[in-house]
A and B are shown apart, each in its own frame.
Chain A
């Protein structure tokens, strides 16, 4: 174990691709931790899943047209999906979850059709779907860094609007907060998060980075600021340990990161001091209630 860690630290000090991978993981961990907290508190986990899949056609289109429109393409199709889901539910008797299911699979299928129809291009579908953190460039890192800072600053500036519209949407709307705009801006942010997480975990697994660390934090605290910090911390730990395991055991990096996030969640689910299932069972056992 110590030998493996020494090997990893040694490689980290020598190889820029590994440094980039760890830095990208850290940034994505923080970004997904913050955005994911609001996603799960607003009950939008399924929406997160839909948007992350819906960016695929935009990403593929950007690959075809050249990397310049990379973000624009992804945000465009992500936003189309968000608007489409709202439009279907408002103009028919189809409910939210069904509309999400239709758009999620539909947009994703369009993306796959686009990729498979481009046999001779250099679009690597595996990397888009599951990430390739070891191919993160300095430019990618800078873009991820700027988006992380912009998102965190926006959350800080509009913190009160976000918490009121999350906690009590009816009240927020009644007092004149633009709740619809807040919803759609969050959808655009989700599209951006998906794109910057593309190399790290890929579009399939990004939803895990949004939901799992935030849910883990939710089991540990009843205070929003602490939840935001814990969620980001778990995101960062998952990313760093995930990259380490991926390097040492030569396994897919994105999946490795998500497995670590899941392991932390499982541990907290059973052993968190207040809500841990096992802890509660032991408590009942010690008081003779089992």
Chain B
């Protein structure tokens, strides 16, 4: 089964072709990194996958079930975390708790198990001690960390992450990648992550998809099964 299946996707923005010939899959247990230069429409591709934008051509299927046959839970960290409403009257703890709503808690109270998940998620990003802080008082880096904590609190089957490590130091990034790797290997989570740190992430990711283009043409997908083979194929493409 595939969690994400993109088939010959094209996307036009105001009649201008932006993406073309995009095809790839993300399966349970896959750790896929998506790279490309600045302006390579990586976020646009993610938004097509999540249904926030409609492809001009081709199809995107997001599985409705996880590998155990239950409803697929998607965890999303958008690119600009600062774009969330920082003036919203909420504490760090309340915000991260909102990650549990998707776990069948829209109309139920959070139980001990949920609260334990939230605690561990906040601890994993080093924000447990700041749990009572108001979100409006956080720095950009701290907002990024609580956004990641929220996605871990959700415990999704599929992580869709758009440059989640912006503003993180090397040590935090390594920790974060290890945690994701553990989630994909030990728990069969699917991970699709847009990143600029492809040199660092290469050690953890199983697949590398790069958006490339010739001058003046739309971005196309260049998909690899193994990161290690990238440089060889990459040069042959050009």
Contact = CB atoms under 8 A, between A and B. Distances in A.
A223 B89 contact: yes
Given A170-B78, A174-B50, A223-B91, A164 B101 contact: yes
Interface string A141-179: 000000000000000010011011011101101111000
Interface residues of A, number: 22
Interface in B106-121: 106-107
Nearest to A93: B14
Interface string B68-112: 000000101010000111011111000100100110011100000
A167 B98 contact: yes
Nearest to A163: B98
B167 interface: no
B49 to A, nearest CB: 10
B139 to A, nearest CB: 17
B89 A164 contact: no
A167 B102 contact: no
Contacts of B98: 160, 163-164, 167
A224 interface: yes
Contact of A161 (B78, B95, B106, B136): B106
Contacts of B78: 170-171, 174
B134 interface: yes
Interface residues of B, number: 24
A201 B102 CA distance: 40
A170 B107 contact: no
B90 A160 contact: no
A41 interface: yes
B76 A224 contact: no
B95 A170 contact: no
A24 B202 CA distance: 65
A224 B52 contact: no
Interface in B38-70: 50-52
Contacts of A41: 85, 87-89
Given A167-B98, A171-B76, A224 B106 contact: no
B189 to A, nearest CB: 16
A226 B90 CA distance: 11
A224 B101 contact: no
A222 interface: yes
A218 interface: yes
B74 to A, nearest CB: 6
A218 B102 CA distance: 28
Contacts of B83: 170
Nearest to B85: A167
Closest 10 interchain pairs by CB?
A174-B76, A222-B134, A174-B50, A167-B88, A168-B84, A222-B89, A224-B89, A160-B101, A167-B85, A227-B89
Given A160-B98, A174-B76, 13 more contacts: A41-B85, A41-B89, A160-B107, A170-B78, A170-B83, A171-B76, A171-B84, A173-B50, A173-B51, A174-B50, A175-B74, A175-B76, A227-B89
